[in-house]
Structure 1
Amino acid sequence: MGDKHLQNFFGKNTSMFVQSTSKLDPFLFLQFITKKKNGVWEKPSSGEGLRLRCNLDEIIMIKEVLKGKFKSWSTKLTFKGKDVGIALKWDDNSKGRIL
């Protein structure tokens, strides 16, 4: 098992990357890219997309929502000097779907 990890999750129009830089760091990075109207994915290497650093408290809350302990959770993080809101919420109309 390595010291760093990277896991990708691709959807139709959005992709999420979960990255840990070291197993000793108390945080991980969440990166999101979307497919442009021309069908080409945003390129993180060109500064496109959104990259957020989540601390242990935020990671735990995300896990608790995914486990179903909480119906929703939200917070604000700073990305490139701007406040970015993150919200997780179970979809009431679709069993097993998270928004």
Structure 2
Amino acid sequence: LLDIPESLAGRLKAGMPVSVPGADGKPLQATLQHVDDFVDSERRVVQARAELDNRSRGFKAGQYVRAQVALPAEGGVSLPDAAVLLINGTQVVFVEE
């Protein structure tokens, strides 16, 4: 189960990829199965469910882990962090034309 901040919940949909760090530090891939249609009024989160292959029993019931859901960009472009350079205090990206 994932606790999604209510500000991001409207952007999540079933089928999106989810990345969870494994016990060895390598990310494991999961798929978002369901996103609830209501906000938890006390914690201000929406719960979502992802299915993760746990045949190796690396995760235990009730264990907390951090997960990342790749959200599509809203306008603009998406690029790796390493592509952004800091030149004279300004973030710069070079584009080949």
Same structural fold, with TM-score higher than 0.5 when normalized by the shorter chain = no
Q: Which has the higher contact order (CA 8 A, sep 6+)?
A: 2
> Normalized per residue, which structure has more helix?
1
TM-score (norm: length of structure 1): 0.25
The structure with the larger Rg is 2
TM-score (norm: length of structure 2): 0.25
> Normalized per residue, which structure has more strand?
1
